[in-house]
A and B are shown apart, each in its own frame.
Chain A
Amino acid sequence: MLAYLVRRLTGSLLVLALMSLVVFLLIGLMPGDPVDLMIAGNPGLTAADATRLRALYGLDQPLFDRYLAWAGQALSGDFGWSRSFSRPALEILGGALLQTLQLLIPALLLALGMAVPLGLLAAARPRGLLDRLAEGLAILSLSVPTFWLALLLIYLFAVELRWLPAGGSGDGSTFGGLTALVLPVATLAIGSLGHFLRFMRAAAGEAMTQDWVRTARAKGVTRQRLLSRHVLPAASLPLVTLVGLSVGGLFSGALVTEILFRQLGVGRVLYDAIQGNDYNLALVGLLLATAATLLGNLLADLAYARLDPRIKLT
């Protein structure tokens, strides 16, 4: 168990290190050298000033040496500064991560809350009306562009009906904050429903064909009890793994909803950072999103092993 944990964590750190290297080198290929931007902002700077500034910030060093310097500082916990906010990158991203989790966790619970019962009931009567409806819903969810869904919901509920605010973070009150979350959470939940629903339907359908279901039926277990006590646990267990794997996708979806609903989550910060040439913030933001995703995978695998006595982590 401990050996497993150590191996997984080492693997995750390796992925993060590799990613930081690749992205750091890519940033060298992005427009807007910081000193060029300073010159553009202050015409009084001479070429000699620019050279001195480059030396001061270490920008005259080769890219790889700059990466090593950055990585050395990162290992000691200093992830550098955000140029546009003039604050440490981690400080900005910490608050943003909380905002993103406020969006992700309710959306995930909502999507699962819809997918699990619907998939189960659909599998109970294959090719029945509910099964067809669930399949149609899953296809729609898999095919709809999240940003367009967000636009539709904003138009319907914020422009036409005026029931809900079009995002933001509310008017400061608890109620205002909650109502501001309704549309983004709904968008994200609908967008991620399809994967869970299809998986649940397939897993429940598979469970229905097993011998132990026939045995349970033969001894006269009611339909309701059969579904809730026999099929549900067997089918929802593998769903745990899928939830872990979908954290990355949820972060992608959250990025879109955060931009459209004007909420300062990790995705929005990352997007603004790229737009504003604030590359260190973008790099640290991407690493944070990746770390959260890898952690989600690991937690899901641990939970799976915990829930299924047949699985032993070695």
Chain B
Amino acid sequence: MNRDRPSLLNRLLRQPTALLSLAFLLLVAAAGLAATPIANWLGFDMSLVDLLGAKQPPSPEHWLGTDELGRDLGMRLLEGGRISLSVALLAALGAAAIGTAIGLLAGEHGGWLDTLLMRGTDAVIALPLLPLLIVLSAIDLTKLGVSPEVAQGDAAKLLRLVLVIVLVGWTTTARLVRAATLQSLAQDYVRAARAMGASSGRVLRRHVLPNIAAPILVATTLSAGQIILFESVLSFLGLGLDPSTPSWGRMLAGAQDLLWDAPHLALFPGIAILLTVASLNLLGDGLQVALDPRRLTAR
């Protein structure tokens, strides 16, 4: 391999905050996936309703206290993390796919299509997104021909939430991809490939896509943070998921009315969201630095 160019991992290793963020995110994901075994191992029964032991403040037995039904809040946070991260991952991937397609098309085609797509992107960026998301979240799936049983199910609600967020979440990626596409199309080797008769599909696949992978990765990481915030606020407002799928935002919706009795129920899910979104933002910034060859020598 090329010795002058350290690997991505090596460059990321030089940035402690980004690395720490990545470690934290992996930990949340792993703990979320293993929430049920962990609860069993610690001896917590998550299906048990214990109203006498409900809304307890943090104690040696329950480190983060118990929720309104007497379940261990720490374990609930791990489960909530699994849901919040799943929504973020699905929606971020969907948004990245749409954003990449639009950015590539605009950058490669140019001309009127570029103008149209970028004007459209600007218009979406300028919209008041949360009011729009609230309107979109109210759509009744049964009127789209989905059977009532499926529409009322958790999977359909999750999918609707993801789709609604994807619809507004692709803009950052589209702009970054378009800029990177224009940049790589201007390279001499791309012009050489074109002169040799390479089709535009081949140019995009072989020359442009590898070069824009970095900005896509950065944009997806940064937008995943935004998506967690969107998911949490929609679930908080009762427009996202049901109580049976308790994402962190959904947990906060329940905690709002108990603010006087049990403030810890509002404190910890919020801290979980804050730390996760901050980690995604810091990791995105770190990746941006690590993937930018010009910054290598500058530092």
Q: Is the interface of A mostly helix, strand, loop or mixed?
A: helix
In the complex with contacts A148-B252, A159-B259, A248-B278 CB distance below 8 A: no
Q: Which of A29, A285, A293 contacts B126 (CB 8 A)?
A: A293
Is residue B233 within 8 Å, beta carbon to beta carbon, of the partner chain?
yes
In the complex with contacts A155-B263, A245-B125, A29-B144 CB distance below 8 A: yes
Nearest CB in chain B to that of A285: its residue: B131
Q: Which of B22-30, B31-39, B134-142 contacts A (4 or more CB under 8 A)?
A: B134-142
Nearest CB in chain B to that of A296: its residue: B126
For B278, the chain A residues whose CB sits under 8 A away are 139-140, 142-143
Contact between A11 and B119 (Cβ–Cβ < 8 Å)?
yes
Interchain residue pairs A-B with the least CB separation, the first 9: A252-B130, A148-B270, A251-B128, A143-B278, A143-B277, A31-B140, A289-B128, A248-B128, A29-B143
Contact between A143 and B274 (Cβ–Cβ < 8 Å)?
yes
Min CB gap A119→B, angstroms: 16
A290 to B126 CA separation, bound complex (whole angstroms)? 8
Is residue B282 within 8 Å, beta carbon to beta carbon, of the partner chain?
yes
Contact between A274 and B135 (Cβ–Cβ < 8 Å)?
yes
Inter-chain residue pair count (beta carbon < 8 A): 127
Interface residues of A (CB under 8 A from B): 11, 15, 19, 23, 26, 28-31, 139-140, 142-148, 151-152, 154-155, 159, 245, 247-249, 251-253, 255-256, 259, 266-267, 270-271, 274, 282-283, 285-286, 289-290, 293-294, 297
A154 to B278 CA separation, bound complex (whole angstroms)? 23
For A266, the chain B residues whose CB sits under 8 A away are 131
Min CB gap A254→B, angstroms: 9
For A23, the chain B residues whose CB sits under 8 A away are 135
Contact between A145 and B138 (Cβ–Cβ < 8 Å)?
no
Contact between B143 and A26 (Cβ–Cβ < 8 Å)?
no
Is residue B92 within 8 Å, beta carbon to beta carbon, of the partner chain?
no
In the complex with contacts A30-B138, A148-B274, A155-B266, A245-B130 CB distance below 8 A: no
For A267, the chain B residues whose CB sits under 8 A away are 130-131
A286 to B140 CA separation, bound complex (whole angstroms)? 19
By the criterion of a CB under 8 Å from any partner CB, how many residues of chain B are at the interface?
Answer: 41
Nearest CB in chain A to that of B142: its residue: A31
Other CB < 8 Å A-B pairs besides A248-B126, A249-B129, 12 of them?
A23-B135, A26-B136, A29-B139, A147-B236, A248-B127, A249-B128, A270-B131, A270-B134, A271-B134, A286-B135, A293-B126, A293-B128
Min CB gap A293→B, angstroms: 5
In the complex with contacts A15-B123, A151-B252, A267-B130, A139-B229 CB distance below 8 A: no
Nearest CB in chain B to that of A136: its residue: B278
For A140, the chain B residues whose CB sits under 8 A away are 274, 278
Contact between A286 and B274 (Cβ–Cβ < 8 Å)?
no
Min CB gap A201→B, angstroms: 13
What 0/1 readout, one digit per residue, does chain B (136-161) give for beta carbons within 8 Å of chain A? 10111001100000000000000000
Contact between A294 and B126 (Cβ–Cβ < 8 Å)?
yes
Q: Which of B128, B129, B266 contacts A151 (CB 8 A)?
A: B266
For A271, the chain B residues whose CB sits under 8 A away are 134, 237
For A247, the chain B residues whose CB sits under 8 A away are 126, 128
Contact between B263 and A256 (Cβ–Cβ < 8 Å)?
no
Contact between B131 and A289 (Cβ–Cβ < 8 Å)?
yes
For B138, the chain A residues whose CB sits under 8 A away are 30-31, 274
Contact between B134 and A30 (Cβ–Cβ < 8 Å)?
no
Contact between B281 and A252 (Cβ–Cβ < 8 Å)?
no
Contact between B131 and A30 (Cβ–Cβ < 8 Å)?
no
Nearest CB in chain B to that of A250: its residue: B128
Contact between B132 and A145 (Cβ–Cβ < 8 Å)?
no
Contact between B131 and A286 (Cβ–Cβ < 8 Å)?
yes
Query: What are 28 A-to-B residue pairs whose CB atoms are below 8 Å?
Result: A11-B119, A26-B136, A29-B144, A30-B138, A31-B138, A31-B140, A139-B282, A142-B277, A142-B281, A145-B236, A145-B270, A148-B232, A148-B274, A151-B266, A151-B270, A152-B266, A154-B259, A155-B266, A159-B259, A251-B128, A256-B130, A256-B233, A259-B237, A266-B131, A270-B135, A274-B134, A274-B138, A283-B135
For B125, the chain A residues whose CB sits under 8 A away are 245, 248
Contact between A255 and B259 (Cβ–Cβ < 8 Å)?
no
A26 to B270 CA separation, bound complex (whole angstroms)? 32
